[in-house]
Amino acid sequence: MISMRRSIIFSLFIIIIAFAIGAYFYPKMPDLMPMHWNAQGEIDAYWPKEFGLFFMPVLTLGLLGLFIGLPKIDPLRKNIEKFRYYYQGFMVVFVLFMFYLYVLSISSVWFSFSIIQALAPAFGLLFFYIGVLLEKSKRNWFIGFRTPWTLSSDKVWEATHKRGGMLFKICGIIALAGVFFPDHAIWLVVAPVIITAIYTFVFSYFEYKKTGK
């Protein structure tokens, strides 16, 4: 089993590569570079290259620090330890996702492509792994579907996350379809996740009602 330390070192290595890429391409970049795309995958905002090249690596580094720190301050951190392997796997997957997005943002300076279509497979893999993490998760205050009812009952937590994990895996598969249907890619990525979030919220309530509390 890979240790948390190795997961952190690997994630930091990826972030360092991103900073190195930014430093390398800095002299080659125009003063403004694409940093935002609309629902059709078209560029609709530009940032100065200083921000465009280094904001995302800095953001990823900050989020990695957050992921590392959250389990340490969770009152139910002993439960997080029970699925630590999957949690640290999520950290690595997330950092790789951000790195891929970073590479796409730089590539968009020279190449024309639909950013949503290009991101569809990455979202698909991210959502699928989130589904795995949810299925393995135990009750805690930071990770998973944290509704009043899941936080009040281990039984409700388990049922909700088993169902939600399965649905997130389906979301991942649907997101992959965005590669083949670029005109609808944004909806194939976003809509299933929104529906899943609403469904699991309602599902957790009715699971709690079954407990008779």
Write out the DSSP string of 142-184.
Answer: SSS---TTTTT-HHHHHHHHHHHHHHHHHHHHHHHGGGT-GGG
Banded model confidence at residue 36, pLDDT cuts 50, 70, 90: confident
Full-model pTM: 0.92
Q: What pLDDT is stored for residue 41 in this prediction? A: 67
pLDDT at 112 over 90: no
pLDDT at 176 over 80: yes
Banded model confidence at residue 212, pLDDT cuts 50, 70, 90: low
Residue the block writes with tokens 């392997």: 85
**Reduced to 3 states, what is the DSSP secondary structure of residue 199?**
helix
- Which comes out higher in pLDDT, residue 87 or 110? 87
Banded model confidence at residue 52, pLDDT cuts 50, 70, 90: confident
pLDDT at 114 over 70: yes
The rounded radius of gyration (Å) of the Cα atoms in the chain is 19
